[in-house]
C-alpha cells in the first residue's frame, strides 16, 4: 500500500445508550478521547434527521476533541437542508453523504444514483457544501456498482465509502463472499484513474476486516457497532487497539 491505512471509529452507539435513558452518560466526549488515545485515526459520527443517537450539540463538542488530537472528524449526514446547516456551521474535515430512511434500523445500502432526481439532489447538496465549506472533503456512501461509481466520478468527490454490509453478513454467516471482493476490485480499478479515495464501512467486525486488509484496496475503514459491542466485554481501549493492530499488521 502506498499510503497509511486509516481507522475511523464510529461512536454513535455510545450516544444510543445515553439517549435510551435521557441521561448525561455515557459521555460521547470521553468515548472520543478513549478511542483516539487507543490509536484510532479519526472519529465518525452520524447526525440523523430523527436524532436517534447523535444530537446537534454533539457535533461541535466532538470536533473540539478531534481538533485537540489533530485528527479528522468525519460527519455522516443525509440529504437534508436542516442537517446541512449543522455541517456548514461546524465545517468538519470530512462529510460523508449517506442515504437515510426514518424507519430503518441502520443504513441499509448506498446512495441511489440510478434515480436522476436523487442524483440531482446530491449534486446540489455537494455544490452548496463546497461553496460554504471549501476545506471540507466530501465522500459518498455507495454500492460497488459501476453505474453508481460513474456518477461519483462525475461529482468529482474526494472519496467514496463502499457499503460493505452485504459482504459482512455473508462472511458472518459462513456464506461465500468472493463475489463481493471481486466487485470491490473492479470498483477500485474504476475509481483509481480519477484519484478518488477508496473507503469501506458498515457491518465490519475484527474478523471480516482481516479479509479486506488482505485484499489491500481500501485506505480507510469506518467501524462502529462491532467496536461498541466488543467493548462491553473487553473495554473500548482494547477493542479499538485490536482493530488498529489488524490494520497495522496487514499494512506491513
Greater confidence (221 vs 251) lies with: 221
| Catalytic annotation present for 118 | no
Model confidence at 34: pLDDT above 50: yes
Q: What tens digit of pLDDT does each residue of 127-186 get?
A: 999 999 999 999 999 999 999 999 999 999 999 999 999 999 999 999 999 999 999 999
Residue 1: per-residue pLDDT: 47
% pLDDT > 70, the chain: 95
- 3-state SS string for 64-125: HHHHHHCCCEEEEECCCHHHHHHHHHHCCCEEEECCCCCCCCCCCCCCCCCCHHHHHHHHHH
Q: Is residue 121 part of a domain?
A: yes
CATH of the domain at 205: 3.20.20.70
Model confidence at 102: pLDDT above 60: no
Model confidence at 46: pLDDT above 70: yes
Q: pLDDT category, 87, cuts 50, 70, 90?
A: very high
Quote the cell numbers at residue 73.
472528524
Q: Which domain holds residue 22?
A: 6-250
| Catalytic annotation present for 46 | yes
| Catalytic annotation present for 76 | yes
Average pLDDT, the chain: 94
- If you average pLDDT over residues 30-48, what whole number do you get? 98
Residue 149: per-residue pLDDT: 97
Active-site annotation holder among 13, 53, 76, 100: 76
Q: Is residue 241 part of a domain?
A: yes
Torsion of CA 225, 210, 198, 59, to 10 degrees: 20
Q: Is residue 1 part of a domain?
A: no
Residue 239: per-residue pLDDT: 98
Residue 109: per-residue pLDDT: 74
Quote the cell numbers at residue 189.
480499478
- Number of separate domains in the chain: 1
Q: Is residue 90 part of a domain?
A: yes
Residue 247: per-residue pLDDT: 97
- If you average pLDDT over residues 66-90, what whole number do you get? 97
DSSP structure string for 182-193: HHHHHHHHHHGG
Residue 10: per-residue pLDDT: 98
Active-site annotation holder among 46, 53, 163, 199: 46
Model confidence at 249: pLDDT above 70: yes
Amino acid at each position: 500500500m502506498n499510503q497509511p491505512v486509516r481507522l475511523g471509529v464510529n461512536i454513535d452507539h455510545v450516544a444510543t445508550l445515553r439517549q435510551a435513558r435521557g441521561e448525561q452518560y455515557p459521555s460521547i466526549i470521553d468515548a472520543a478521547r478513549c478511542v483516539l488515545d487507543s490509536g484510532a485515526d479519526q472519529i465518525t459520527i452520524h447526525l440523523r434527521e430523527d436524532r436517534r443517537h447523535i444530537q446537534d450539540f454533539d457535533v461541535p463538542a466532538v470536533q473540539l476533541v478531534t481538533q485537540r488530537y489533530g485528527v479528522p472528524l468525519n460527519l455522516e449526514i443525509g440529504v437534508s437542508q436542516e442537517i446541512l446547516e449543522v455541517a456548514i456551521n461546524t465545517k468538519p474535515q470530512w462529510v460523508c453523504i449517506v442515504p437515510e430512511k426514518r424507519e430503518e434500523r441502520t443504513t441499509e445500502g448506498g446512495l441511489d444514483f440510478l434515480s436522476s432526481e436523487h442524483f440531482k439532489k446530491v449534486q446540489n447538496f455537494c455544490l452548496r457544501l463546497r461553496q460554504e465549506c471549501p476545506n471540507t472533503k466530501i465522500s459518498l456512501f455507495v454500492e460497488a456498482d459501476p453505474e453508481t461509481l460513474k456518477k461519483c466520478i462525475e461529482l468529482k468527490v474526494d472519496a467514496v465509502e463502499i457499503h460493505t454490509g452485504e459482504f459482512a453478513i455473508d462472511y458472518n454467516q459462513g456464506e461465500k463472499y468472493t463475489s463481493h471482493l471481486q466487485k470491490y476490485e473492479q470498483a477500485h480499478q474504476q475509481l483509481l484513474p480519477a484519484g478518488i479515495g477508496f473507503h469501506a464501512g458498515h457491518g465490519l467486525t475484527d474478523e471480516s476486516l482481516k479479509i479486506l486488509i488482505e485484499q489491500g484496496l481500501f485506505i480507510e475503514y469506518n467501524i462502529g457497532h462491532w467496536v461498541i459491542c466488543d467493548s462491553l466485554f473487553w473495554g473500548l481501549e482494547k477493542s479499538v487497539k485490536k482493530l488498529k493492530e489488524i490494520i497495522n499488521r496487514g499494512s506491513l
